[in-house]
């Protein structure tokens, strides 16, 4: 029996989310993918059952923030629909800047609307010419009396056009590189803010991914998060805590694909017996399950580390994102193989899962960047004691 890190109350919440996913979201997953329309009905389901509240403290209208429980929620929903799992993950991503760097007034102003799901959030860092290299961003913000005026654009922004609140990064000192970046909260009705092209994608089709523009966009000076020049540090603190959400999405995809492939292999017969009893297929299933369980152990450890504000979070967050999403791609590919020709057909969900899995290796920091982050953190560690006495 696997070790369960969840409390009894959290286990009950997991069962609620699991039931909602299986009974209400799974039947919609194929249509969400086919129509490529944002699933407002799923958002309403999350609102009705207070799923967004898992991400927020009680004082802001939530159920009591728990990073571990947030990851569990994303995982459970992503087992049946990665687009719907992403709705939860991006609500966390878009709200983290306020939770980590906001004043009490800012938290009271915005977090209750996010905790209820009345408002959706987005995170706007990436630009057409600056993905992994945020110092190359061109968006700028200047102080003008009691306001900041923002000019520039962002690209590949999840929840573009459906979010009511965007955490936006722009340079207040253009020549200062990372040290010149500041963070702002921009509401969707801010003058000068607009949404551009919504991208057609290979996977997670029901999630909107698009461009947003700032043309002399004016926001109150009170919408600055932290101090001027602290934006890059805020962005990195956010990503340390949000990347595990993408890891959870990847794990959910991998486990969902494993479960489906297992049921198929039990019922599909060749040569007089279920294909699950053929050694090569059995070995694939065993590897798929082992990778999922190993990924879950790492992911849940990171959830506990976030809740405990652990010092080594950067390294382990990157490790979880790297491993869980690589597993997602490997396992969904294997699931298609287990189903053979049927796995390549849209009638079966593993084809969608395989397409959805690919983006998890790319967004919120490519897995190549995660390897660089992990190696950098390793080089900072003192492991000389391990070599003591070695000649």
How far is the C-alpha of 192 from the C-alpha of 289, rounded, in Å?
50
DSSP state of 53: G
How far is the C-alpha of 132 from the C-alpha of 363, rounded, in Å?
10
Which residue among the candidates 75, 364, 377, 381 is catalytic per the annotation? 364
Residue 177, classed as helix, strand or coil, is helix
Active site annotation includes 364? yes
How far is the C-alpha of 113 from the C-alpha of 165, rounded, in Å?
10
How far is the C-alpha of 94 from the C-alpha of 79, rounded, in Å?
22
182 in Cβ contact with 224 (< 8 Å): yes
Beta strand spans in the chain (E): 121-124, 140-144, 147-158, 165-171, 181-187, 193-198, 209-220, 224-225, 269-270, 273-274
What does the H/E/C string look like for 245-303? HHHHHHHHHHHHHHHHHHHHHHHCEECCEEHHHCHHHHHHHHHHHHHHHHHHHHHHHHH
320 in Cβ contact with 247 (< 8 Å): yes
How far is the C-alpha of 234 from the C-alpha of 358, rounded, in Å?
27
- The catalytic residue positions are 364
């Amino acid at each position: 029996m696997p070790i369960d890190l969840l409390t009894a109350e959290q286990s009950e919440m997991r069962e609620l989310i699991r039931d909602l996913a299986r009974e209400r979201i799974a039947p919609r997953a194929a249509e969400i993918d086919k129509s490529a329309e944002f699933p407002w009905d799923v958002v309403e389901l999350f609102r009705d059952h207070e799923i967004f509240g898992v991400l927020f403290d009680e004082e802001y209208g939530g159920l009591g923030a728990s990073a571990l429980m947030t990851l569990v929620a994303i995982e459970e929903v992503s087992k049946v629909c990665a687009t719907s799992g992403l709705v939860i993950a991006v609500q966390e991503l878009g709200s983290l800047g306020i939770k980590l760097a906001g004043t009490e007034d800012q938290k009271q102003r915005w977090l209750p609307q996010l905790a209820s799901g009345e408002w959706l959030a987005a995170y706007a860092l990436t630009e057409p010419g600056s993905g992994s290299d945020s110092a190359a961003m061109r968006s700028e913000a200047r102080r003008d009396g009691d306001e900041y005026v923002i000019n520039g654009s962002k690209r590949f922004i999840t929840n573009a056009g459906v979010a009511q609140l965007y955490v936006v990064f722009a340079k207040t000192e253009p020549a200062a590189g990372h040290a010149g970046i500041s963070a702002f909260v921009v509401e969707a009705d801010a003058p000068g803010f607009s949404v551009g092209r919504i991208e057609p994608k290979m996977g997670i089709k029901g999630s909107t991914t698009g461009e947003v523009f700032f043309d002399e966009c004016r926001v109150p000076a009170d919408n600055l998060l932290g101090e001027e020049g602290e934006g890059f540090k805020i962005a990195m603190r956010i990503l340390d805590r949000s990347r595990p959400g993408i890891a959870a999405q990847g794990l959910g995809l991998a486990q969902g694909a494993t479960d489906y492939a297992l049921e198929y292999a039990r019922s599909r017969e060749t040569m007089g017996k279920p294909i699950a009893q053929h050694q090569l297929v059995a070995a694939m299933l065993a590897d798929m399950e082992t990778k999922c369980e190993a990924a879950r152990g790492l992911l849940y450890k990171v959830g506990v580390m976030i809740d405990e504000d652990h010092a080594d979070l950067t390294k382990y967050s990157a490790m979880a994102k790297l491993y869980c999403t690589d597993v997602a791609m490997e396992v969904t590919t294997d699931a298609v193989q287990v189903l053979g020709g049927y796995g390549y057909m849209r009638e079966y969900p593993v084809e969608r899962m395989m397409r959805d899995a690919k983006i998890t290796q790319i967004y919120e920091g490519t897995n190549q960047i995660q390897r660089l982050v992990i190696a950098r953190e390793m080089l900072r560690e003192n492991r000389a004691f391990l070599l003591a006495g070695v000649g």
